[in-house]
């Protein structure tokens, strides 16, 4: 199946700094990618939909100025956590769908990025 990668797999940063997480579709072009956040022992929460060449669509309650999303190419979306604080520590996961497949095809998820803010 299609492969989605994320980089880095884990990152530790100081409070107040910004962290960029990359999501790449390795063997297909994705016009749409999705970003999720998952706290310990909780389910995945959809944060935003990343659209190639246009602005991201954020879910209710997600601060767009806090979580900057850029989808500059058909294989890369980035999530930047700006001025990170300890409460932003979480597991961030992206997913993508191959637009050439049926609309009912599965989404492919990245392995996730563990962010720890000290």
Partner 1 sequence: DAKTTQPPSMDCAEGRAANLPCNHSTISGNEYVYWYRQIHSQGPQYIIHGLKNNETNEMASLIITEDRKSSTLILPHATLRDTAVYYCIVRVDGATNKLIFGTGTLLAVQP
Q: Which residues make up the interface to partner 1 (CB under 8 A)?
A: 1, 4, 6, 32, 34, 36, 43-46, 49, 91, 93, 95, 97, 103-104, 106-112, 114
CA nearest to 108, candidates 94, 87, 90, 92: 94
Residue 34 vs 84, nearer CB to partner 1: 34
Q: Can you spell out the DSSP letters for 10-40? A: EEEE-TT--EEEEEEESSS--SEEEEEEE-T
Residue 15 vs 59, nearer CB to partner 1: 59
- State how far the Cα of 13 lies from the Cα of 115, in Å rounded to an integer: 8
Nearest approach, Cβ of residue 39 and partner 1 (Å): 13
- State how far the Cα of 66 lies from the Cα of 18, in Å rounded to an integer: 10
Residue 11 vs 44, nearer CB to partner 1: 44
Nearest approach, Cβ of residue 97 and partner 1 (Å): 6
């Amino acid at each position: 199946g299609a492969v989605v990668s994320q980089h880095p797999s884990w990152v530790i940063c100081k409070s107040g700094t910004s962290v960029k997480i990359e999501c790449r579709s390795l063997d297909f072009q994705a016009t749409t990618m999705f970003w999720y956040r998952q706290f310990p022992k909780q389910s995945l929460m959809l944060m935003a939909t990343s659209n190639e060449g246009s602005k991201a669509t954020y879910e209710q309650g997600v601060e767009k100025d806090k979580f900057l999303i850029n989808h500059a190419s058909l294989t890369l979306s980035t999530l930047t956590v700006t001025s990170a604080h300890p409460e932003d520590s979480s597991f961030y996961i992206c997913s993508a769908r191959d637009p050439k497949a049926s609309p009912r095809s599965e989404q492919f998820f990245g392995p996730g990025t563990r962010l720890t803010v000290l």
